[in-house]
Amino acid sequence: MSLKTRDDLTQLRLKCRDVVKAGGKRILVCAGSSCMSCGAEDVFDAFTKALGEKGVACSLEFELEGDRRAVGVRKSGCLGLCELGVLVRVDPVGYLYTCVKPEDCAEIVEKTIVGGEFIDRLAYSKGGLLCRCQDEIPFYSRQTHLTLKNCGHIDPASILEFISVGGYSSLEKALFEMAPDDIVQDISRSILRGRGGGGFPTGKKWEQVRRQKAEKKYIVCNGDEGDPGAFMDCSLMVGDPHLMLEGMIIAGRACGSDEGYIYVRAEYPLAVTRLRRAVEQAEELGILGKNILGSGFNFRININRGAGAFVCGEGSALTASIEGKRGMPRVKPPRTVEHGLFNMPTVLNNVETFATVPIIIGDGVDAFLKHGTAKSPGTKNFSLTGNIENTGLIEVPMGTTLRQIVYDIGGGMRGGATFKAVQIGGPSGACLTEEHLDLPLDFDSLTRIGAMIGSGGMVVTDDNACMVELARFFMNFTQNESCGKCIPCREGTRRMLEILERVVAGEGREGDVELLLELADTVTHTSLCGLGKSAANPVVSTIRSFRSEYDAHIRDKRCPAGACQKLKRYSIDPVACKGCSKCSRVCPVGAISGKIKLPFAIDGTKCVKCGACVAACPFKAVLAA
Amino acid sequence: METSIDLKVMDGIIDRYETKSSAVIAILQAIQEKWRYIPREAFPKLASRLGLSEAQIYSVATFYDNFSLEPKGKYVIKICDGTACHVRKSIPILERLRGELGLSRIKVTTDDLLFTVETVSCLGACGLAPVLTVNEKAHPAMTPDKASILLAKLREEEHNVA
Amino acid sequence: MEVKNRGMAIIDGMPVEIEGERNLLELIRKVGIELPTFCYLSELSIHGACRMCMVEDKRGNLAAACSEQPRNGMEIRTNTARLRKYRKNILELLLGNHCRDCTACGFSGKCKLQDLAMRFNIAGVRFPNAMSEPSVDASSPCIVKDKSKCILCGDCVRMCEEIQTVGAIAFSRRGSRMTIGTAFDIPLAHSNCVGCGQCAAVCPTGSILPRDDTGDVWRDLADTDNMMTVQIAPAVRVALGREFGLPEGENAIGKIVAALRRLGFAEVYDTSTGADLTILEESKELLERLADGKRHAMPLFTSCCPAWVRFCELRYPELMSEISTSFSPMHMLASVIKEQYRDVFRQVRHVAIMPCTAKKFERSRHEFSRDGRQLVDHIVTTRELVRMIKEAGIVFSELESEAVDAPFGAMSGAGVIFGVSGGVTEAVLRRVSTDKSPTALRRIALTGVRGMAGVKHSSITVDDREVRIAVVSGLGNAAMLIERIKAGEERYDFVEVMACPGGCVSGAGQPYAPQAQREMRGRGLYSADKLCNIRRAEDNPLMLSLYRGLLKGRTHELLHAHYKSSVQRTSITIRIRRGKPVSG
């Protein structure tokens, strides 16, 4: 099937809607990366099997013709509540089942699909609150889903489902009702800011590329989401790939480009598969290719896989990588909008930004401006992880406070632990503490306190987390991922890591903190690219908020959170010890001695703090302090 | 270990791409998918067909973490050390696996070419941290003990095959 | 074409006129501020990695001057307290990862890192040295590479890739594990390195140095059984003097001869004499090709430059048969000398003072051995000769000029200009031109063969036939020209190739000099030519006696090489940049 005109698409959409309306029940198995790792595939198979055994007709993909009473079984995009995977949604009622195992499927088919009953056992239930439908769960009801509106509600592998929920109607509008200038103007007016971290106004970028006279221009989508602890873009690419394709095609139309590239992180094989399939489907329907819907506009999209380099998330490194080179950022100017990919004017935005575009064009700028704050309108996706009750993928209006995210949506600290800090923005970001809980999160407020939205990874830590160790963790990451081109980042981060490793090992020296800050200053202000410029953020922000922890490590050789292995002091509780000698047998340095059946003792001067004795003791007699 | 590479197969792989230098990463990926690493024998061929020097290809191949110039194990175990996994203690899992297999940060593949253990910065499954993957199949909410059991299972499978 | 950037900028409070400077760094240096850099070289692409050239604007924003456009109204400071602190920190970080045995380094006193460490008064390094052990690749006869002295500025990589399109070395790995080297770190000698040494010429530290063979020369000089003979290449005389306080480009041949005698050389000759033989033999080849009635698709390529010959052998083996079989001037003279002293062959040692690292490779080629011995025993670069003179305690500036020795003491001006790009061609044109009037010399000089441009074209008429000529320097330009000839876009009869941009005056064995100074060297050679009473090779009376004497009937045996390419066509092709040639 190939759509030749706008009318063809409109007709197809109506037909798809009819099918959905007439259709029966649907089982949506969340196939986000977390649920997949919990066995979503097996759950999916179990459902088809259970339906077959019950003799219920089922359909596995969207069909325009076919048995309309058949129960649809689909793998959907990420439903967000990753902690409780595998998640299963039953439509049209909107029931949400959590922690579904393959063995639960027969029961769901029998009771819910056939019988129409709800199974309490599989419901979301926390703090005495039992929710049947997805919308009742506080985790969802406190969010605003724009880019995630289809995620978990449609089969991302089907372009027809996407079309049935209004997909590609913004493209229609952009192609047939708006001049390219109008599109750029709308994006400018929407104050859409790049969701990849920097927050650069997208409209301005598009405008600059649109103005360039060049034989070729490129639209590049940055799907190289490398922040450890962030998976929002992954979820979008996996859960609703057509939405970002639509955004890219609109960008192409607006800026006068006929070719796009999507650069996807290599660690996201599922995203690559989904995107490839989505591009193929769009090409088949004539939504990508030559003379799209008879508009005379041509656009094609290539998909490039990354090869494992965080720095390729930086614009010029990403384009270098597409060009087959080492992903080393280059100096600017010239800027990407002038000399980007293959030296041509290039629009480079990330997945979430492109996914927001069809929403602005479709719903209108004014509707978009109603979300978020005046200077940062719209919503932002975060991945909420760490020691929090509800980990997962969330979308909230810009300006939402940390407190709302951690406590209302996140459900508070896991097991009632004490909140300590939220690390936001990954290795480029900073730690937000108690005092920042009521800070409205947007680009500017975070920049003001020396943090960064980054791509939106949020890791919540409790008081068991050592902030020096966390800083070391990020520095280790950055140091590993530094491309090595400029001296301050290559050598500076290496030295900062050296110092931090020393500190967490109890070998810190007086003056180390000052040296760290001095190096941080140089690295921040002289590095070539954004990665280097922000590399010191985690260190500086933890020193600022948790200086006493640094001092405790350095002066007292003590880790206040009790997390640093090398600073632990092991002792044997003489009462609990039964003198079995297991500990002394596993000790690699012979630091434990004693007589059988009498309490053993650890020689602190020999102990290398490996913790082997703790694991070996059957009586929990080895104490670590 | 000497591996002889069928250069015809290599040509076939290169033929699927445009023979221009910008395709080098995609071609290296395809080669690695075929042989699980990039054999040294590939370099002269790639160089002459892509118009690059061997040093330039080596330069690209060593920049990216995903490329291996050494043969990898049949089972590639990747332990996620993203922030979420890290704060939920992924390192003890890594240490357990390395310990059981006699591997280290430098030696990542067992001599029998059965197991490769490496870390990865984030697999995007943070909700169920800590996570590890065995040849792309994810295993959520791991602990050192669960990792040992998994390893034993893989060894058993291997034993049964052999 | 872009409109030239104009306007006014204020640098450290001084108003400065912007006159089309390509970047802020050039503008700053124009006003006499030597902003420090490691990775900026005007002939290479902007790398922007060393971050030493950062400047601060009014609002306290920092930018690297090398990659910033000068803009009208711009107000910047180059030397604020902050900038000094950052520069010192960067230097300290570099020194923390660098061999600090300066006294034992062949580049001590010339090293940019050492210089800047002193300028910025780096009193100590607060980090443990991560690079205290040397990591040396001495496999190449031309250059020696020591990773422990590398600051990863990438100048060598860009030179090898952008100007020479060889790509023998590149960055490998990344971050703090990044190094510069060959594929799989194989020894340079086994790589596609052609030995041009331009990497060494641009290396700001002692990480890549021309190989030092002075020890062997001293040993031979000390052996009284040896009869030491030596020849001096044209480009050496205009580059060496500056190291002893003479003006750049001044012809110091007389003093060099005197110095060599004091070092113990019994006979001192001028490579220009050998160049005269090259001119005669190469012209003969050209005239034969022009007369053989065949339509040659490929031109006759010159053979003087060993890096070019090696490049051709590795990248274009099929073109080896199009390279002139005439020896390079060095081997012409060496061959004649060794033949002259045939009876005492075992005792005669011959040393060549060359501006070139690749000559060390040429010396060792099997094509240049006779009776199981190489024709040239040692190659000493200009830099090495400077060291030998200093080591011997010779006060160079006070030496009285001396003349070279008989029996090979005569040379033409045509032979002298071999040291600069276009010189070989001009010399050949003087030979093949049928017009032998003095004005013809001027006309030939004006045909476009002179100047530092990377690609030059010229043509003259010989026997009513237009002879089309190209002169290229820089191997990237050579590759580009060859691709165009192959594609049928150009046709030439004669092509001169010099691997080093601008010719031998820019050779890697020469003391490093920026482009303007290299031009002075070229000018020095042209004025030396003018001062010669013999301007054409065929007018050199020595030639006549040689051809009638020891060369009689033996020119083929004694003066021609047939390169047997043992190398298979390998991977050495590199993308050829189309379009604008790179000028030297």
Mapped onto helix, strand or coil, the DSSP state of residue A119 is coil
Residues C276 and C312 reside in one and the same domain = yes
Q: Is a pLDDT exceeding 90 seen at residue A268?
A: no
As a whole number of angstroms, the distance between CA C383 and CA C396 comes to: 14
- Under 8 Å CB-to-CB from C161, ≥6 apart: which residues? B56, C167, C170, C574
Distances (CA, A) of C245 to A150, A492, C110, C518: 78, 40, 15, 16
Among B59, B66, B106, B121, pick the best mutation site for testing chain C contact (most C Cβ within 10 A).
B59
Phi, psi angle pair for A541, to nearest 5°: -70, -35
Average pLDDT of the residues of chain A: 92
Least-confidence region, from A7-21, A428-442, B5-19, B116-130: B116-130
| pLDDT computed for residue C565 by the predictor | 57
| pLDDT computed for residue C564 by the predictor | 65
Amino acid type, C291:
A
Cα-Cα-Cα-Cα dihedral sign, residues A448, A451, A455, A461: negative
User: Is B136 near chain A, with CB under 8 Å?
Assistant: yes
- Please indicate whether, in this complex, the C-beta atoms of B58 and C184 are within 8 angstroms of each other: yes
As a whole number of angstroms, the distance between CA A101 and CA A105 comes to: 7
Q: Which domains does chain A have, with CATH numbers?
A: 19-136 (3.40.30.10), 159-369 (3.40.50.11540), 379-462 (3.10.20.600), 467-555 (1.20.1440.230), 568-624 (3.30.70.20)
Closest chain A residue by Cα to residue B145: A615
In a domain, C574, yes or no: no
Among A87, A101, A419, A459, pick the best mutation site for testing chain B contact (most B Cβ within 10 A).
A459
b/e map A331-350, b = 16+ CB within 10 Å: bbeeebbbbbbeebbbbbbb
| pLDDT computed for residue A325 by the predictor | 95
- Please indicate whether, in this complex, the C-beta atoms of A331 and C66 are within 8 angstroms of each other: yes
Residues C393 and C289 reside in one and the same domain = yes
* Closest CB to B57 among C169, C183, C575: C183
- Can you give the CATH number for the domain in which C534 is found? 3.40.50.1780
Confidence label for A65 from pLDDT (cuts 50, 70 and 90): confident
| pLDDT computed for residue C108 by the predictor | 92
| pLDDT computed for residue C67 by the predictor | 93
Convert the pLDDT of each residue in A85-114 to its tens digit: 899 999 888 899 999 999 999 999 999 988
User: Is C42 near chain A, with CB under 8 Å?
Assistant: no
- Can you give the CATH number for the domain in which C142 is found? 3.30.70.20
**C-alpha distance from B1 to closest chain A C-alpha (Å):** 25
Q: Is a pLDDT exceeding 80 seen at residue A454?
A: no
DSSP H helical segments within A73-201, as ranges?
Answer: 105-107, 138-141, 159-164, 169-176, 180-189
DSSP H helical segments within C265-357, as ranges?
Answer: 271-291, 306-315, 329-340
Stretch A242-268: mean pLDDT: 95
pTM given for the model = 0.92
Closest chain A residue by Cα to residue C176: A490
Q: How many domains does chain C have?
A: 3
User: Is B135 near chain A, with CB under 8 Å?
Assistant: no
Of residues C506, C550, C563, the one with CA closest to residue C239? C506
Assess contact for A110 and A102: CB atoms under 8 A: no
Low-confidence residues of chain C, pLDDT below 50? 1-2, 568-584
Residues C358 and C487 reside in one and the same domain = yes
Residues C25 and C44 reside in one and the same domain = yes
Residues C466 and C544 reside in one and the same domain = yes
- Chosen domain end from C152, C171, C204: C204
Cα-Cα-Cα-Cα dihedral sign, residues A71, A75, A78, A84: positive
Residues of C annotated as catalytic are 282, 285, 304, 324, 359, 362, 367, 504
- For chain A, what percent of residues have pLDDT higher than 70? 100
- Please indicate whether, in this complex, the C-beta atoms of A528 and C64 are within 8 angstroms of each other: yes
- Please indicate whether, in this complex, the C-beta atoms of A528 and C173 are within 8 angstroms of each other: no
Among A36, A267, A311, pick the best mutation site for testing chain B contact (most B Cβ within 10 A).
A267
CB contacts of B85 in chain A (<8 Å) are 228
Confidence label for B4 from pLDDT (cuts 50, 70 and 90): low
Residues C158 and C267 reside in one and the same domain = no
Give the start-end residues of each E strand in B37-86.
75-80
CB contacts of A483 in chain C (<8 Å) are 174-175, 178
Domain extent listing, chain B = 7-63, 75-161
* Closest CB to C51 among A309, A326, A526: A526
As a whole number of angstroms, the distance between CA A475 and CA B35 comes to: 34
Residues C392 and C486 reside in one and the same domain = yes
CB contacts of C187 in chain B (<8 Å) are none
| pLDDT computed for residue A230 by the predictor | 82
Residues C49 and C118 reside in one and the same domain = no
**C-alpha distance from B2 to closest chain C C-alpha (Å):** 16
Structural domain of C314: 215-559
- Under 8 Å CB-to-CB from A556, ≥6 apart: which residues? none
- Counting one residue from chain A and one from chain C, the pairs whose CB atoms sit within 8 A come to 95
As a whole number of angstroms, the distance between CA C380 and CA C386 comes to: 10
Mapped onto helix, strand or coil, the DSSP state of residue A519 is helix
Q: Is a pLDDT exceeding 80 seen at residue A269?
A: yes
As a whole number of angstroms, the distance between CA C104 and CA C116 comes to: 18
In a domain, C89, yes or no: no
In a domain, C91, yes or no: no
CB atoms inside a 10 Å sphere around CB A497? 21
Contact residues, C window 331-350, toward B, CB-based 8 Å cutoff = none
SS3 string, C461-515, reads EECCEEEEEEEEECHHHHHHHHHHHHCCCCCCCEEEEECCCCCHHHCCCCCCCCH
User: Is B69 near chain A, with CB under 8 Å?
Assistant: no
Radius of gyration of chain B from Cα atoms?
Answer: 18
- Please indicate whether, in this complex, the C-beta atoms of B87 and A459 are within 8 angstroms of each other: yes
Residues C393 and C507 reside in one and the same domain = yes
Superfamily of domain B75-161: Glutaredoxin (3.40.30.10)
Q: Is a pLDDT exceeding 70 seen at residue A2?
A: yes
CB contacts of C182 in chain B (<8 Å) are 54-55, 58
User: Is C125 near chain A, with CB under 8 Å?
Assistant: no
| pLDDT computed for residue B2 by the predictor | 45
b/e map A291-316, b = 16+ CB within 10 Å: ebbbeebebbbebbbbbbbbbbbbbb
Convert the pLDDT of each residue in C337-389 to its tens digit: 999 998 876 789 999 999 999 999 999 999 999 888 899 999 999 999 999 99
In a domain, C36, yes or no: yes
- Please indicate whether, in this complex, the C-beta atoms of C173 and B56 are within 8 angstroms of each other: no
- Please indicate whether, in this complex, the C-beta atoms of B53 and C173 are within 8 angstroms of each other: no
- Chosen domain end from C152, C179, C204: C204
Residues C164 and C38 reside in one and the same domain = no
Structure ipTM? 0.90
CB contacts of C49 in chain A (<8 Å) are 485-487, 528
Structure tokens at A27: 């089982």
- Please indicate whether, in this complex, the C-beta atoms of C48 and A330 are within 8 angstroms of each other: yes
- Counting one residue from chain A and one from chain B, the pairs whose CB atoms sit within 8 A come to 141
The C-alpha angle with vertex A404 and arms to A400 and A408, in degrees rounded to 5, equals 140
CB contacts of A515 in chain C (<8 Å) are 126
- Under 8 Å CB-to-CB from A156, ≥6 apart: which residues? A31, A75, A76, A77, A150, A162, A238, A239, A240, A241, A242, A274, A278
User: Is A597 near chain C, with CB under 8 Å?
Assistant: no
User: Is A343 near chain C, with CB under 8 Å?
Assistant: no
- Under 8 Å CB-to-CB from C579, ≥6 apart: which residues? none
- Can you give the CATH number for the domain in which C43 is found? 3.10.20.740
- Please indicate whether, in this complex, the C-beta atoms of A231 and B126 are within 8 angstroms of each other: yes
